[in-house]
């Protein structure tokens, strides 16, 4: 069943339809939040809060846009609010649902270790970025969203998103180069 049809049924009080939307998007929302704020417990809490807020505000959903864009926007706004209330934390380097596997898939153990070290360096560099740059990089390169979708989720002009992605990549590359990491 299409998202729009599920939203319409959920608006009419069909809890099963909303449960289907939750099942469809909970891992993606959790992954987005985890990569944005870097704390598993906070990401779980915010995932629940995202869907609770979406359920309460379902009538404000604009069917001209995709449901995924709307739910990611809610999650991103909650992450921004949480970030404002707490000092920034570093991103955990453990793997989780939806995590990007950067390690080299070849069986050579030395290559696997090298891949993990590079992934660790990338995650550390990402964690050092300001939230606005880190968030757009996660949406673009981890969640594989288009520039237009990121602009819609963040509620910012397309040019701002492109600039932040460019600046974020440049800052990360400078940081990695300073640390002697070759990608």
With a cut of 90, say whether residue 47 has pLDDT above it: yes
Quote the percentage of the chain above a pLDDT of 90. Answer: 41
25 domain-assigned: yes
75 domain-assigned: yes
C-beta separation of 142 from 31 below 8 A: yes
> What pLDDT, on the 0 to 100 scale, is given for residue 111?
54
With a cut of 90, say whether residue 21 has pLDDT above it: yes
7, burial (CB in 10 Å: exposed 0-12, middle 13-18, buried 19+): buried
183 domain-assigned: no
With a cut of 60, say whether residue 114 has pLDDT above it: no
106 domain-assigned: yes
What DSSP string runs through 80-127?
Answer: HHHHHHS---PPP-S--TT----S--SS-HHHHHHHHHHHHHHHHHHH
Q: CATH number, domain at 152?
A: 1.10.1740.10
Query: Half-sphere exposure of residue 125, counting CA atoms within 13 Å on the CB side?
Result: 22
> What pLDDT, on the 0 to 100 scale, is given for residue 118?
74
CB atoms within 10 A of CB 115: 17
> What pLDDT, on the 0 to 100 scale, is given for residue 104?
42
64 domain-assigned: yes
With a cut of 50, say whether residue 90 has pLDDT above it: no
Could you tell me the residue range of the domain that residue 169 belongs to? 3-178
> What pLDDT, on the 0 to 100 scale, is given for residue 147?
94
With a cut of 50, say whether residue 168 has pLDDT above it: yes
- Count the domains in the chain: 1
Q: C-alpha angle 103/125/35, rounded to 5°?
A: 70
């Amino acid at each position: 069943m299409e998202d729009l049809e599920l939203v319409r049924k959920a608006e009419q009080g069909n809890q099963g339809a909303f449960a289907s939307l939750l099942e469809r998007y909970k891992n993606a929302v959790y992954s987005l939040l985890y990569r944005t704020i870097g704390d598993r417990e906070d990401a779980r809490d915010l995932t629940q809060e995202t869907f609770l807020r979406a359920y309460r505000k379902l009538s404000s959903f604009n069917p001209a846009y995709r449901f995924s864009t709307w739910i990611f926007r809610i999650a991103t706004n909650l992450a921004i609010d949480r970030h404002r209330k707490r000092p920034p934390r570093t991103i955990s380097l453990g793997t989780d649902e939806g995590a990007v596997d950067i390690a080299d898939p070849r069986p050579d153990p030395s290559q696997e270790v090298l891949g993990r070290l590079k992934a660790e360096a990338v995650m550390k560099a990402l964690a050092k970025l300001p939230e606005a740059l880190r968030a757009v990089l996660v949406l673009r390169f981890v969640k594989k969203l288009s520039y237009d979708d990121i602009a819609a989720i963040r509620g910012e002009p397309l040019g701002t998103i492109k600039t932040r992605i460019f600046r974020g990549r440049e800052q990360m590359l400078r940081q990695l180069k300073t640390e002697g990491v070759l990608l």
